[in-house]
């Protein structure tokens, strides 16, 4: 069974640019979660999508947004990139709306220059 897959694995951007990160959940999983793992800040909850809808959002500015597609894959978009957006972005999925993110991808490492 394929796990949660994320692309790309690494990205380098400059301040002010926009970026799109992609996530494919485990087959059959309808919920997708996004977390940011920044140096010194730990793991922070970003977004939760289920059945195509945004269900919950962490304490991040509106320039962090995303969507979930009919096939349950998801995109995370970050506009107007800032230096502090440099982090590992982790996607996770679960099969149960009431469940916790059980399976994480290996992440996308975003570096802002």
Closest C-alpha to 67, from 80, 58, 76: 76
Window 9-48: contact mask with other proteins (x via CB under 8 A): ----------------------x-x--------xxxx--x
As measured in angstroms, the least distance from the Cβ of 25 to other proteins is 12
Say whether residue 101 binds other proteins (CB under 8 A): yes
User: Using CB under 8 A, which of 55, 60, 75, 95 touches other proteins?
Assistant: 55
DSSP 73-98: -EEEEE-S--GGG-EEEEEEEES-TT
Half-sphere exposure for 15 (CA within 13 Å, toward CB): 4
Chain residues in the site for other proteins (CB under 8 A): 4, 31, 33, 42-45, 48, 55-56, 58, 90-92, 97-107
């Amino acid at each position: 069974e394929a796990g949660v897959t994320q692309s790309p694995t690494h990205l380098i951007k400059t301040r002010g640019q926009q970026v799109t990160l992609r996530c494919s959940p485990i087959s059959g999983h309808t919920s997708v979660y996004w977390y940011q793992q920044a140096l010194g800040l730990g793991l922070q909850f970003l977004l939760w999508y289920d059945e195509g809808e945004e269900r919950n959002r962490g304490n991040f500015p509106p320039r962090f947004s995303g969507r979930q597609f009919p096939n349950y894959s998801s995109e995370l978009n970050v506009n107007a990139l800032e230096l502090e957006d440099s982090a590992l972005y982790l996607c996770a999925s679960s099969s149960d709306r009431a469940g916790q993110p059980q399976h994480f991808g290996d992440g996308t490492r975003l570096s802002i220059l």
